[in-house]
Amino acid sequence: MRIECLGHDSRIFGRNAMAIYEFDPSADFSLFESDYRKRYDPFYVSCKIPLERVMDVHLLEHHGFNLIECQIRSAIKLRKIYDVSPFPYDFEQVTREEDLADVLVIAGTTFVHDRFSIDSGLPPGVSGARYREYVRHSLHAPDEAVCRLIERTTGHTVAFKTHRYVSADEVLFLLGGVHPDFKNVGIGLINEYFEFNFLIRKGIRRGVTHISAANYPVFNLEIGNLGFRVLGTFAVMRKLYPNMTEPAGSPAAP
C-alpha cells in the first residue's frame, strides 16, 4: 500500500491532494493514515477499489472515506476509418499556447458529471480549474496530445480531446468535451470519429478510458454505440481532512 501526491490537484486545492494505490486490507490502515497525515497534511485523499471488493469499500468507510463516484474502465480496438467527409469540421492537434484558449473555455465549463463537480465538500469552481490545468499539462507533456474539432466556416473550436500515448500502438483517452452551445446535437460522436481516424493514421490500434457511471451520455456513446468493452468497475472513495494546524472543529477547506 502506498500513497502519492497529485501535483496538479494539490496546486488547485492549495494543499496536498493524495491518492492511495495498491490498497491492502490486511495492513493497519489507522497507522498508515496517521503516517501520511503527519508527513503530508493532506486536504484530499482518494482511493479506487474494484467494485467486487466490497469489504474493502466498507473498510475505508469505517475510516471516514465516502463513496464519490462509480468509475468504469473500458477499451476499444481501433480498426475502422470513419467517413467524416459529410461533416463541416476539421480536427487538428494543438501545438501552440495561443490556440489553446478556446479549448480551455470548454474544459472549464463542460464537465458536470465528474466527482469534483458533484462533491459538496469542495469549493465551487474546483472542477473547471482542475480540468484546465490538466489540458495545459497535455499540451506540453511529450507523451500526451491536445486535439480540437474546428467548425470549418467560422474557425470556432466546438470540441476537444486529450490522450496519452502509452505504447507504440495504444493510448489512454484522457479528457474530452463539447462546447456548451453545441451539446446534444451529435458533436460528441463526431469528435470521437475524428479522433479515432487521427490515431489510426498514427498506428494506434487500442484505446483505454475511464468514465463515471453517472455520465449517461458518454456511457451510452462509448459502450452502447462505439463498442467499448468494459474491463473493470471501481468505487472511488475520498476523504477530506482539516488542516492539522487548525483547532478541532475548524472546517476542512483548502
Amino acid (one-letter) located at 16: N
Specify the pLDDT at position 111: 83
Per-residue model confidence (pLDDT) at position 41 = 97
pLDDT of residue 246: 55
Please report the pLDDT score of residue 248 as a whole number: 40
**CATH classification number, 80-204, choose in 1.20.1630.10, 3.40.630.30, 3.90.870.30, 3.40.50.1000:** 3.40.630.30
Listed residue (241, 188, 196) closest to 216, CA to CA: 188
Confidence (pTM): 0.89
Give the residue ranges of the chain where pLDDT is below 50. Answer: 247-254
What does the alpha-carbon distance between residue 72 and residue 77 come to, in Å, rounded to a whole number?
A: 17
In this prediction, residue 244 carries a pLDDT of: 66
Stated as kind and residue range, the H or E segment containing 211 is: strand 206-212
Show me where the domains of the chain are located. Answer: 2-70+235-240, 80-204
DSSP string across 32-80:
HHHHHHHHH--SEEEEEEETT-HHHHHHHHHTT-EEEEEEEEEEEE--P
The single residue listed with the C-alpha cell 480536427 is: 91
